[in-house]
Chain A
Amino acid sequence: MLSLSAKNLMGKAYKQEYTYKHPWERVSSASWRKFADPENKRTLSHILEVDTLNHKLDPDSGKLYTTRAITIHAPGPWFIRKIVGQDICHCVESTVVDGQSRSMQLTTRNISLQKFIEVQEKIRYDPHPDNPDRWTICRQETSIQIKPLSALASMAEKVEQRCAEKFVQNSAKGREVMERICKYLEAESSGISL
């Protein structure tokens, strides 16, 4: 259950929607484990490290704020590498979980290579309106923009396109991993060990 739409404004913006047939509690738990599970390291091999930099719990409202650093290996074609000079990119992901209304929002953006490119990804997990206690809807929005005055500007269109393709590929891998962890958590909660 995936829908994808793209529009070409300045840069590229992508929207995706996906339904997990698992309750929000399980899906949001899986989201935290997505990068950490050693078993998934192979599927998400572009993720090198994930560190939690900061977190805050508001015990009155049931809101949890977390900031994580995500180090990504993003090798482009040789001519890009030559200009950019590195193929490691640091991103900062900030997450707000509202335990009361059952929503999880993640915003990730790159903090290195900013003079060349800006990528922002927003993901939201909410209970699915058709089946709020058993299904979860995931909405994902990605925007990619080459900085107009950067050395990459002349090939912006091409680079953005390539970047966007990579994102779509990687989010498919991300969903695969999420589904796997959800299954695992489901088995765990019913007392079956895998």
Chain B
Amino acid sequence: MGILRKDKKSADSSSTSSTSPCANLRTAYHNCFNRWYSEKFVKGQWDKEECVSEWRKYKACLSEHLEDKHLTRFLDAEESVDYSGISR
């Protein structure tokens, strides 16, 4: 009973699974990024961004499937938002 209810709940919540269609593209991008980060970035080779095509595909998928409007705002922003200085 408890398990059934839980399953139903997570299936109902569209926000949980909204980006799952992008899971493969996400993994491809994150794998590429992680490799770039530990093999190049931390060694001072930050002159060139890599994983560009992986990112493009993944982001296109996200634009299509990300439903939460609070989140899509960040996706639309051309530059990443730096909150570190903001205290709320």
User: Digit string of A89-106 for contact with B (CB within 8 Å is 1, else 0)?
Assistant: 010101011010000010
CA distance A87 to B27 in the complex (A): 26
Known contacts A33-B34, A49-B19, A71-B16, A54 near B81 by CB under 8 Å:
yes
Chain B hits for A109, CB < 8 A: 83, 88
Would you call A122 an interface residue if the criterion is a C-beta within 8 Å of the partner chain's C-beta atoms? yes
Residue in B38, B46, B77, B79 whose beta carbon sits within 8 Å of that of A25 in the complex: B38
> Given the complex of chains A and B, what is the CA–CA distance between A59 and B66 in angstroms?
29
Interface residues on B, range: 35 or more
Q: Which chain B residues border A90 with CB–CB below 8 Å?
A: 15, 68, 70-71
Chain B neighbourhood of A107, CB < 8 A: 83-84
Query: Are the C-beta atoms of A54 and B49 separated by less than 8 Å?
Result: no
Q: Are B34 and A29 in contact (CB under 8 A)?
A: yes
Mask, A43-55, CB within 8 Å of B = 1, is 0000011011111
Binding site for B on A (CB under 8 A): 24-26, 28-29, 32-33, 36, 48-49, 51-57, 59, 62, 64-67, 69, 71, 86-88, 90, 92, 94, 96-97, 99, 105, 107, 109, 111-112, 118, 120, 122, 185
Residues of B within 8 A of A (CB): 9, 13, 15-16, 19-20, 22, 26-27, 29-30, 33-34, 37-38, 41-44, 46-49, 55, 58, 62, 66, 68, 70-71, 74-75, 77, 79-84, 88
13 more contacts with CB within 8 A, not counting A57-B46, A87-B9, A88-B15, are: A28-B37, A29-B34, A29-B38, A32-B33, A32-B37, A36-B27, A51-B62, A52-B33, A53-B74, A59-B46, A65-B80, A67-B74, A107-B83
